[in-house]
């Protein structure tokens, strides 16, 4: 089974709060972003955001430039539905991060939680390093 099919199946068959990595709020991630980003005007990308509520919380705290990237269309749809009218304020990217081709220095802070350990192989790591260039050197908030 390829990676995308695997994750679509996970999100199509499990409720958001029934997965092992579920937390109602990602407090540690939020604290990391607060420490790393230069304030609510910063451009934040949550890579492999899944169905987490991090984007909701960032928005509640005034962040206005939020991108959520995930390989699963299902996960992104669940988030959009949960956020209702606020969903249009987020940039949603359904993509494989290792192939996404994010613009260089497009983001001030990169967040990922429980994503990178699913990505194996040196070729994948090289591709990810290329994607990490989407973030300015000094503001990476990687959470593994």
Ligand X SMILES: C[S@@+](CC[C@H](N)C(=O)[O-])C[C@H]1O[C@@H](n2cnc3c(N)ncnc32)[C@H](O)[C@@H]1O
Is residue 50 a contact residue for ligand X (CB under 6 A)?
yes
* 123: exposed, middle or buried (Cβ count in 10 Å: 0-12, 13-18, 19+): exposed
Question: In the complex, what is the shortest distance from the CB of residue 35 to ligand X, in angstroms, rounded to a whole number?
Answer: 18
Is residue 142 a contact residue for ligand X (CB under 6 A)?
no
Of positions 77, 82, 98, 106, contacts ligand X by CB under 6 A: 98
- Contacts for 53 with CB less than 8 Å, ≥ 6 apart: 24, 25, 26, 82
Is residue 113 a contact residue for ligand X (CB under 6 A)?
yes
Q: Compute the distance between CA of residue 141 and CA of residue 118 in angstroms, rounded to an integer.
A: 18
Cβ–Cβ contacts within 10 Å for residue 80, how many?
Answer: 15
- Asked if 137 and 26 touch (Cβ cutoff 8 Å), the reply is no
CB of 7 or CB of 43, closer to ligand X:
7
x/- letters, 2..31, toward ligand X (CB under 6 A): -x---x-------------x----------
Is residue 61 a contact residue for ligand X (CB under 6 A)?
no
Indicate the length of the chain as a whole number.
144
Is residue 70 a contact residue for ligand X (CB under 6 A)?
yes
Site residues for ligand X per CB under 6 A: 3, 7, 21, 48-50, 52, 69-72, 75, 96-98, 113-115, 118-119
């Amino acid at each position: 089974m390829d990676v995308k099919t695997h994750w679509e199946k996970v999100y199509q068959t499990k409720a958001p709060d029934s997965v092992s990595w579920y937390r109602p709020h990602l407090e540690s991630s939020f604290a990391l972003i607060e420490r790393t980003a230069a304030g609510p005007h910063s451009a934040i990308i949550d890579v492999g955001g899944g169905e987490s509520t991090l984007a909701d919380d960032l928005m509640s705290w005034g962040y206005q430039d939020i991108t959520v990237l995930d390989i699963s269309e299902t996960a992104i749809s669940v988030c959009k539905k949960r956020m209702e009218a606020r969903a249009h304020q987020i940039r949603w990217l359904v993509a494989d991060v290792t192939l996404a081709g994010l613009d260089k220095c497009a983001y001030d802070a990169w967040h990922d939680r429980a994503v990178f350990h699913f990505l194996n192989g040196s070729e994948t790591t090289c591709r990810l390093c290329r994607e990490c260039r989407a973030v300015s050197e000094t503001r990476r908030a990687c959470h593994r």
